[in-house]
Structures are given as structure tokens and as C-alpha cells.
Amino acid sequence: MLEISHVCKSYGAHPALKDVSFSIGPGELVGLFGENGAGKTTLMKSILGLVRHRGAVLLDGEPITRANIHRLSFATCEHSFFPNLTPAGHRDFYRDHFPRWREKRFQALMEFFQLPVQVPRKLSTGQKNQFEVVLALCQGADYILMDEPFAGNDVFNREDFYKVLLGLLEPTETVLLSTHLLEEVEQAISRAVLLRRGELVGDVTTLELEEREETLMDYVKSAYHYRADRVLRTLDQLAEGEEGEEP
């Protein structure tokens, strides 16, 4: 169990996370959603201990330390691989440092994405993100955190990857996936967690949404108090302004 308890984080006078608490159990595939600046990346970095924060993050009741950090992996669009080390070099490094390295999965995912053998710094943005995901999934971690992993990837790669992801995960593997692509991942995730301006504003399972006959998008709009007339109001204001301008 991964427990996030009363986590707070501020950057200067700006609060990025405000008393966020929830837990994730083994085998869940959780979508982490929120607008830009909602605190998604900060939350993931707080879980991993990459930023200092208040509150607690516990893994099976224990703080995250060097003794158990190997049970967490991270795929970030900021990239954490070695830019001048080939995929084979990464495989050897990870295999030496992570005893639960998944060799067969690595080979299958490299082939699935059709990634070349050249060093990552020469790859496209989409390929770099794909390679980052491959390493996170093959490390052998119990909890896999992914922060906007599909930036720069075409819709076909994304759609097929969700299917592969559901097929390769073992019952004890858990994924926390941050993305703006709500409608694409709705059928893949088992639960949705919503952040808004650093606060937890929603936490629902997809089964609960199905029972309520509510889509994920409708749920998010409701939690965010989305105003459907915002576009029309803006266009009306612009039209009024143009009419009032002198030629």
C-alpha cells in the first residue's frame, strides 16, 4: 500500500500541494488528473522524495528510503535516462542494479515501440518518452509512476500502448498515471484522482462511474465546476469590443 498523508508543498509563497491525502493499493491503475499547475508533477516528486515537503509518504507503513526506493519507478517527460548511453548499456546498468529487472519485457517493449539502438539524445521527443516508459516498466518496481509519458506520441502508439500495458502488468504491479488525455485512458484505468490548485477534489473508481452512468469527462467537469458558457461569453465580449472600436 502506498499512502500519501497530509502532503503539503510550497514554492516560496505559492502553495503547490495543500494537505493531499489518499492511498493506492496493489494492482490498481490510477489516473491522476488536473489542469496545468494543479500539482500533479509535484505530487509525484514528493512521493519519490525528489522535493522536500510536509506530511508523510509511506510504503507498506514504512517511509521511502534507500532500503525500499527500488520498489518505485518513475517515467518523467523531463527524462531520467543517461543521454549518451545506448539502450543496451541501459539494460546492462539496470540489470546490475535492479535484481528484479524484466529482460523479456524490455525486449518486447523495445520491439513494440520500434526504438533504434542509438543513444537517447539522438531520438525524437516521442521516442525519448517511449524509452523512459520502457525503463520504468522493466525496472521491476511494484509502484510505477508516469508523468505525462505520451507527449509527442501519435494516437495509434498511445492507443496500442494502453492495450499492451493492461496485458503486461502483473496483479501486484500498480500504476499512477498523470495525463491530460482523459478520454483515451478512461477504459484503461480503474480509478481517477483529481487535483485542482494543489487540493484533492475528486477520487472515484471507474466502476462507480459506470454504476452512475457518468463519464470520466463529466465527472471531472463537475468536480472542476466547469462553465460550458465560457467560450460564448468570451466571444460575445470580443464582438462587443470590436463594435465599440472607432474605424
**176 and 24 Cβ atoms separated by less than 8 Å:** yes
Q: Among the listed ranges 2-6, 33-37, 58-62, which one has the minimum average pLDDT value? A: 33-37
Mean pLDDT for 98-112 is 93
Q: What is the helix (H) or strand (E) element at residue 25, kind and residue range? A: none
pLDDT at 244: 56
Q: How far apart are CA 114 and CA 215, in angstroms?
A: 34
Write out pLDDT tens, residues 154-189.
776 777 888 888 888 999 999 999 988 788 888 889
Longest dimension (CA), the chain: 73
Percent of the chain with pLDDT over 70: 94
Q: What confidence category does residue 78 fall into, taking pLDDT thresholds of 50, 70 and 90?
A: confident
Q: How far apart are CA 80 and CA 78, in angstroms?
A: 7
**160 and 143 Cβ atoms separated by less than 8 Å:** no
Q: Among the listed ranges 8-22, 74-88, 93-107, 202-216, which one has the minimum average pLDDT value? A: 74-88
CA dihedral 89, 95, 98, 103 (to 10 degrees): 110
Q: What does the mean pLDDT of the chain come to?
A: 89
pLDDT at 129: 86
Q: What is the helix (H) or strand (E) element at residue 90, kind and residue range? A: helix 87-97
Q: Which residues pair with 191 in a beta bridge?
A: 30, 205
Q: How far apart are CA 30 and CA 121, in angstroms?
A: 30
Q: What confidence category does residue 152 fall into, taking pLDDT thresholds of 50, 70 and 90?
A: low
Write out pLDDT tens, residues 22-31.
999 999 999 9
Q: What confidence category does residue 150 fall into, taking pLDDT thresholds of 50, 70 and 90?
A: confident
Q: What confidence category does residue 1 fall into, taking pLDDT thresholds of 50, 70 and 90?
A: very high
pLDDT at 187: 86
Tell me which of 162 and 43 has the higher pLDDT.
43
Q: How far apart are CA 206 and CA 67, in angstroms?
A: 34
The yes-or-no verdict on residue 12 having pLDDT over 60 is: yes
Q: How far apart are CA 43 and CA 7, in angstroms?
A: 8
